[in-house]
Amino acid sequence: MTSPSFAQLPAPPYYAVIFSSLRTDHGSDAYAPMAERMVALAQHQPGYLGAESTRGTDGFGITVSYWSSLDAIAHWRANAEHRVAQEMGKAQWYEHYELRVARVEKAYGKRN
Amino acid sequence: MTSPSFAQLPAPPYYAVIFSSLRTDHGSDAYAPMAERMVALAQHQPGYLGAESTRGTDGFGITVSYWSSLDAIAHWRANAEHRVAQEMGKAQWYEHYELRVARVEKAYGKRN
């Protein structure tokens, strides 16, 4: 059985946006619905391939989204609704975040 | 204040190994010490730059380790003690994992 947590991706090359973040203690009420909305919105962007995301109980999380091209990433980054969420994230939700854009060159996995 | 969860990295380019995994229910006693040992061992490998890691309460986790070159990644992958851990992971600890090797081209972040 496939876990819904894993992205189903084509063969490389493709691009990854690695977003690591530490949540603040505040703004939780607004955060969860906005985060869900961003996942749903991203899925409808051109060039979106998939995403994987997790957060520990310490508030530190990693989300990796996968895209067909750098143009697709730039397009998503400039999305108006996404920009509002980005500003909310900077101002309220994240104590610290790091974002890295990478070109995936090799991929392999194993499912038991 | 810097969170210990974030890797302190040089300017790109560098390489990322994105390892996403779903833990099995068994082998927990041996897993945590081995995972800690692998973190400590990786830090002493040539070309190691840093790592970020988190796992949710659902058992799904993402670890991203950062390296100076593909050679450094290949060297770490072939490390004898690491190979034993890899085999244990395949056989016992991970129900499913995906491993992606990527070249980081851009990076930015924000700390409040």
Helices and strands, number each (H, E), in chain A: 3, 4
* Alpha carbon separation from A46 to A42, A69, A72, B99 (Å, rounded): 9, 10, 6, 24
CATH number at A28-104: 3.30.70.100
- Find the range with the poorest average confidence among A79-93, B26-40, B69-83: B26-40
Mean pLDDT of A53-79: 96
pLDDT, tens digit (0-9, with 9 covering 90-100), for A23-47: 998 777 889 899 999 999 999 999 9
- Find the range with the poorest average confidence among A29-33, A67-71, A82-86, B10-14: A29-33
Architecture of domain B24-104: 2-Layer Sandwich (3.30)
For residues B106 and B11, the answer to whether their CB atoms sit within 8 Å is no
In sign, the C-alpha dihedral spanning B15, B82, A63, A97 is: negative
Cβ under 8 Å to A: B residues 40-99? 52-58, 60-62, 64, 90, 94-99
| The model's pTM | 0.94
Ranges of each domain in chain B: 24-104
pLDDT for the residue numbered B110: 87
- Is the ipTM, as predicted for this complex, more than 0.95? no
Query: A41 to chain B, minimum CA–CA distance in Å?
Result: 22
Tokens standing for A98? 């790091």
Query: Which residue type, as a one-letter code, is found at position A63?
Result: T
Give the pLDDT band (50/70/90) at residue A52: very high
Taking contacts as CB-CB distances below 8 angstroms, the residues of chain B near A98 are 6-7, 52, 107-109
- Closest Cβ–Cβ partner in B6, B102, B109 for A104: B102
DSSP state of B6: S
pLDDT for the residue numbered B58: 92
